[in-house]
Structure 1
Amino acid sequence: MAHHNPWPDEGNTGHIWDEDLRELDNPAPLWWMLSFYAGFVMIVFYAIYYPTIPLADSYTKGVAGWTQVGEYHEDFKVLKDWRQAKFADKEEKLAALSVDEILKDDDLKAYAVATSKVLFGDYCAGCHGAGGQGNPNFPVLADDDWLWGGKPAQIQAALVNGRVGNMPAKGMMGNLNDQEIEQVADYVIALSEGKADDAAYAAGKAVYAKGMCLACHGPVGKPLAPAGAANLTDGIWRFSGDRDDVVAVIKYGVNVKKAGELIPGTKQAYMPSFKERLPNADVNIKRLTVYVHALGGGQ
């Protein structure tokens, strides 16, 4: 910066760099000043027209009565009305047709699947995972293993009525002692691994028959009909394939109650009915039935 000012009458501030680069002290242009003052006017206008100033337990509402939430609802109504007009024919078909009829119509099936993703995320993904992949202690919907059957009517019935799992507590009821529970647990794990015929599991196989496990799970670990019992031969576990967990399920059962209360250690397997939970339940249950059936495991 220079120590002298070669242009004393120019109106500069005296700050000079590189011999001739200097800072002038000219007034701002009129248009700029008018814009600057207009900004203050707009602040006052905005504070009066829109909600602006926070108060102790509220805020100034503004004469316009505008809110972001109100604008959201207005925009959402426009979108909802547009959707209803655009897809009214498909929605009418979903309401009128059965699930089997919807599945036979490729275009309508694709529409049902596309419009079920958010619905599934809101009401089903918390237990069954975003893509039906399941969560700990909740069934996978994207495979071909079904406790109650994977046909459209069976899936729809589960959504309408809910499901309550049931398995007796073999250890608590005196059916089996601790040694027998250990033996049958080893046999059940061997079933899932395809090793059940090994001589090492003969004792467990005998306990399997004695404990009447075959009444629900079938003579060879495959239920004769889908009625809530697990297939023990496919390596897919309702809760866990960990040996301690298998022992606990056999010993304490599933949803076992005493005096109206769940006994300690019993597993809980409960799916609520959605006929009262879903909006527009008649149509949306059919929509979700098609979606679950299409995840990959529908029969």
Structure 2
Amino acid sequence: MADKNPFPGENNTGHIWDDDLRELNNPAPRWWMIAFWASILWWIAYGILYPMWPGLNSYTKGIMGWTQINEYKEGLDEVQQVRSVWESKLQGMTAKEILADEGLTSYTIASAKVLFGDNCAACHGSSGQGGPDFPVLVDDDWLYGGAIETIEQTITNGRKGIMTSHAKLLTDEEIDKLAAAVMSGNPASEPLFMGKGCFACHGPDGKGMQALGSANLTDAVWRFKADDQLASVKQTIKHGVNDASDPLSREAEMPKFGDRLSENDIKKLAVYVYKLGGGQ
């Protein structure tokens, strides 16, 4: 192509396509060359100032002495200084007293969000909406009550209620009748509710007793939700909950956090859960 260059005297490489498409051999613009050499100088300077060059067993530290861990610690110290003002106020206060202080409540909710995510969200959902077969924390339906003191006690000591298995105490027909009454929202309408002693735990009206942690059977709020809710209710009546004598019994236990979280962290979580919307 070079021997047929139709542009003699032009500073091109002699590579011509489609009669006039050619590759010029011009120098790069001055501004581009300045930027190019400046970037090389900056790269060298960066390698002198900051950790960069690898070695056999280590790396160059840089004359600035900068490290990511030091920057993290400095940032953490700044955060701790801001938090220390609020944290010092929390010392010695009860969760109820924290709730009475609007500023402390706002701080507590903000700082407890991470605590909730780390310790509670796996079961109760990131927003307290409840995971499969785990309680919802944003409604006002509480087995043991939604007072701030009760919530704090639950977090500290955990909960493990027991629903007796009735597989050997009731016939399938009786279980069907009780389940239908529970689904209707009026379990006391079924004579078996009184006759078989269900009222002893769930109360004569079926609304449950918080002292025992027994469920309210009249509000259509289900601890174990299912597509076939009637079958789920039958399962619970027949095999119970946390009944060690029945291998088919449902398992429902709230672990205790008193041995893994500080007193302040538990208070924060109690306030956070209370303010999710279901506290009473």
TM over 0.5: yes
Q: 2: distance between equivalents of 1:288 and 1:178?
A: 43
How many angstroms does 1:133 deviate by? Answer: 0.9
> What's the CA shift string for 1:181-213, capped at 9, x where partnerless?
11111111112xx5x57xxxx5xx221112211
Q: Quick one: distance in 2 between partners of 1:220 and 1:63?
A: 76
Distance in 2 separating the partners of 1:186 and 1:94: 49
Matched residue, 2:180: 186
RMSD between superposed Cα atoms in Å:
3.3
- Alignment-derived partner of residue 232 in structure 2: 245
> Cα offset for 1:292?
0.5
Q: CA deviation at 1:215?
A: 0.7
Q: Does the 8 A contact of 2:96 with 2:148 survive in 1?
A: yes
The 1:20–1:251 alpha-carbon spacing in structure 2 relative to 1, beyond 3 Å, is: closer
Name 2:271's counterpart in structure 1. Answer: 290
CA distance in 2, matches of 1:110, 1:6: 77
- Whole-Å Cα distance in 2 between the matches of residues 27 and 120 of structure 1? 62
Q: Distance in 2 between matches of 1:214 and 1:249?
A: 16
Partner of residue 14, structure 1: 14
Percent sequence identity is 42
Alignment partner, residue 56 of structure 1: none
TM score, norm. by length of structure 1: 0.78
**Partner SS for 1:147:** coil
AA aligned to 2:98 is I
Do the aligned partners of residues 20 and 283 (structure 1) sit closer, same or farther apart at CA in structure 2, a change above 3 Å counting? same
2:5 aligned residue? 4
The residue correspondences of 1:115-194 to structure 2 (distance < 5 A) are 115-171=111-167, 174-191=168-185
CA separation of 1:180 and 1:17: change in aligned 2, threshold 3 A: closer
TM-superposed deviation, 1:52: 5.5
- Unmatched runs of 5 consecutive residues or more in structure 1: 54-58
Residue 28 to residue 83, structure 1, CA distance change in 2 (3 Å): closer
What aligned pairs does 1:37-52 form with structure 2 within 5 A after superposition? 50=52
Alpha-carbon distance, 1:282 to partner: 0.8
TM-score by length of 2: 0.83
- Identify unmatched segments of 5+ residues in structure 2: none
Aligned residues, how many? 268
Tell me the SS of whatever aligns to 1:182. Answer: helix
Cross-structure match for 2:59:
62
The yes-or-no answer on 1:231 pairing with 2:216 is yes
**Residue deviations 1:75-124, cap 9 Å, x none?**
33223211221122211111221111111111111111111111111110
Structure 1 residues 14 and 225, CA, compared in 2 at 3 Å: closer, same or farther?
A: closer
How far apart in 1 are the matches of 2:240 and 2:72? Answer: 48
